[in-house]
Amino acid sequence: MGERLTTSTLLVTDGGVIHPDCFSHQFTSAKSRRSETWRTRLADRLTASTTLQGEGKELTKEEKQRLRKEKKQHKKNKKDDRGPPEKEKEKEKASVPAPSKPATQSPAHKAAPVPVNASASESPVAAEKPAKSKAELRAERRARQDSERASKQGKKEGGQQSTSSKPKATPNELQPVVKRLPDHVQVDDPVALKKLAKKLERQQVPLRSDYGYKVSLFSHLHQYSRKNPPTQQISIPVTVIHPSIVRLGLQYSQGIIAGSNARSVALLHAFKQVIQDYSTPPNEELSRDLVNKLSPYISFLSQCRPLSASMGNAIKYIKKEISNIPSQCKEEEAKRILQECIDSYINEKIILASEAISKYAIEKISDGDVILVYGCSSLVNHILCEAFEKQRKFRVIVVDSRPRLEGREALRRLVKKGIRCTYVLISALSYILPEVSKVFLGAHALLANGYVMSRVGTSQIALVAKAYNVPVLVCCETYKFCERVQTDSFVSNELDDPDDLIVTRNGKTHLENWQTVKSLGLLNLVYDVTPPDFVDLVITDLGMIPCTSVPVVLRVKNVDQ
């Protein structure tokens, strides 16, 4: 009798990192995979946290070897200029066994992924170069790498706490292909910080400094203060960053625009303005130059506030559309096309999607229902208003939490419509839940393993609702689905301004001088992650799906594109 995997485990396969429930989906697409490369793919996945970059799969053996030699040369030259960062070391080491590989070796070894250290010690059966110089070089390199590795291990001890970067540390030497963790979860790694600083300097985007003492479990995330927006560091007139982007960045960092849909729509509108004001420099192509122009804007916006999954997908879409503009297209025409693309994206993915979702959701609301909502989700509010207009008889319980108190906005909107509402704080949840017949939650993003990322407190509500056997429905548009996989709320999150937690009651502000108390840390988390077992139904514009079918939707979407 086989073992039943619990939901906290993940299956790491050569097809990707997947949740056990989604395992059978992989089988249906398994025909597209080639079995020879599964071992190498598995090795990649174990060290990867982001998507695999496949290089040169189709090259012939000769071409591959030539490429390896070139790479080795190139790296050697680069190495003399700078001190050796880890990734170059891997490329070096990887290319060491490469030229020693005889032409007769198995076709399973491709250009990009490279097998274990053991192959470096294999004696070559047939060599193209004279064996003596190769052995010499190898011995030299190995000595150098051993010393590097020793110093690197020492550095790594204090470093990363996020689980996804732990496999990066040790088997990193195997990988010539760089697996990049996003910058915003590597704050405690000085190397990554230096790289980020250099990149921002190059793009002339101000670097925002962290504020206050960070709780050690979250020290890999940024923590900014609202009193120091990055816009203060920009000189006027701004040359590199478009003014509408500066304004958008300020609105994000001050929390004036909040909420996944609002942020994405604002972003797209700002980009429309950017495209409108853009003019192609001479000797440049719009499709390439515009994408390069957008990069500093995106860096700036992520300094103001880390990008959400929906914004990431929107940016990917725009970049794709821009690079698909044919080169013979005139500038005016291209701009018009892009404006139309953005408009249709907003219309289809956000506005029409919410109409479709309301249609499905209203089927699930019956007369006499008591519906619980949490915080302020534009989509859930829209659904409830539509249902009320369609003469459904229900009442709503709005649950709210500090410090954002977003529930008050939701309450205001619903009461204005005429819906009967009750307002409680999240601490009263288990008291109020026996009355509730359904829970409607919004989502910030839906991850590839079926986990729901949403405002902090959502997973608590889902947990208690499950304990009381109340169905939990999550409403989410498909453009918020992302390829990332996460099982906990620590790896990738957002830390808000800790000063928000300070409150004045009866004239006394107890936490005013929290920075002076050495052992005190204030933690203001923004997101948390809900496992799919607590969610009964996800309503998307494609229909009603169980939480474990998110990878299916992602696959269908990729096929469409």
Partner 1 sequence: MNESIILFIPLCSQIREDPDVASAVAAIRSLLEFLKRDQSETILGLRENQTKAIQRLEETDSSVAVSSGGELFLRFISLTSLEHPDLSQCKNVMIERGELFLKKISLSRGKVGKLCHTFIKDGAKILTHSSSRVVLKVLENAAADNKRFTVYVTESQPDSAGKLMAQKLHNLNIPVTVVLDAAVGYIMEKVDLVIVGAEGVVESGGVINKIGTYQMAVCSKAHNKPFYVVAESFKFVRLYPLNQQDVPDRFKYKADILKTVKDLNQEHPMIDYTPPSLITLLFTDLGVLTPSAVSDELIKLYL
Instruction: Specify the residue, 285 or 533, whose C-beta has the smaller distance to partner 1.
Output: 533
Q: Quick one: which segment of 233-241, 321-329, 350-358, 545-553 binds partner 1 (CB under 8 A)?
A: 545-553
Using CB atoms within 10 Å of the CB of residue 550, give its burial: 0 to 12 exposed, 13 to 18 middle, 19+ buried: buried
Site for partner 1 in 516-535 (CB under 8 A): 533
Q: Quick one: which segment of 147-155, 280-288, 424-432, 536-544 binds partner 1 (CB under 8 A)?
A: 536-544
Q: What is the 3-state secondary structure (H, E, C) of 265-284?
A: HHHHHHHHHHHHHCCCCCCC
DSSP state of 415: H
Q: Which of 65, 213, 471, 488 binds partner 1 (CB under 8 A)?
A: 471
Q: What are residue 186's phi and psi, to 5 degrees?
A: -125, 35
Site for partner 1 in 450-469 (CB under 8 A): 469
Instruction: Specify the residue, 268 or 553, whose C-beta has the smaller distance to partner 1.
Output: 553
Q: Quick one: which segment of 21-29, 114-122, 153-161, 385-393 binds partner 1 (CB under 8 A)?
A: 21-29
Instruction: Specify the residue, 259 or 551, whose C-beta has the smaller distance to partner 1.
Output: 551
Between 399 and 438, how does the x/- string for binding to partner 1 read (CB under 8 A)? ---------------------------------------x
Instruction: Specify the residue, 268 or 464, whose C-beta has the smaller distance to partner 1.
Output: 464
Q: If binding means CB under 8 A, how many residues of this protein chain bind partner 1?
A: 25
Q: Which of 92, 409, 536, 541 binds partner 1 (CB under 8 A)?
A: 536
CB of 426 to partner 1, least distance (A): 23
Contact 475, 440 (CB under 8 A): yes
Q: Which of 3, 6, 28, 282 binds partner 1 (CB under 8 A)?
A: 28
Rounded (10°) angle between helices 331-345 and 260-277 = 170
* Nearest-5° Cα angle at 442, 501 to 381: 95
Distance CA 400, CA 464 (A): 15
Contact 364, 548 (CB under 8 A): no
CB of 391 to partner 1, least distance (A): 19
CB of 388 to partner 1, least distance (A): 20
Instruction: Specify the residue, 97 or 551, whose C-beta has the smaller distance to partner 1.
Output: 551
CB of 401 to partner 1, least distance (A): 25
Q: Which two tokens stand for residue 32?
A: 């597209």
Q: Which of 3, 6, 24, 328 binds partner 1 (CB under 8 A)?
A: 24
Q: What is the 3-state secondary structure (H, E, C) of 97-130?
A: HHHHCCCCCCCCCCCCCCCCCHHHHCCCCCCCCC
Question: Nearest to residue 182, comparing CAs of 312, 55, 91?
Answer: 312
Q: Which of 37, 310, 478, 548 binds partner 1 (CB under 8 A)?
A: 548
CB of 424 to partner 1, least distance (A): 23
Instruction: Specify the residue, 219 or 437, whose C-beta has the smaller distance to partner 1.
Output: 437
Q: Distance between terminal CA atoms of the chain?
A: 41
Q: Which of 16, 17, 18, 25 binds partner 1 (CB under 8 A)?
A: 25
Q: Which of 23, 213, 423, 514 binds partner 1 (CB under 8 A)?
A: 23
- Helix (H) or strand (E) segment spanning residue 395: strand 394-400
Between 360 and 379, how does the x/- string for binding to partner 1 read (CB under 8 A)? ----x-x-------------
Distance CA 221, CA 193 (A): 12
CB of 550 to partner 1, least distance (A): 10
Distance CA 476, CA 207 (A): 33
Distance CA 93, CA 158 (A): 25
**89 SS3 class:** helix
Instruction: Specify the residue, 11 or 127, whose C-beta has the smaller distance to partner 1.
Output: 11
- β-strand 527-530 against 11-13: which pairing, if any? unpaired
CB of 469 to partner 1, least distance (A): 8
537 binds partner 1 (CB under 8 A): yes
Distance CA 113, CA 23 (A): 24
Contact 377, 413 (CB under 8 A): no
List residues binding partner 1 (CB under 8 A): 21-25, 28, 364, 366, 438, 469, 471, 473, 533, 536-537, 542-546, 548-549, 552-553, 556
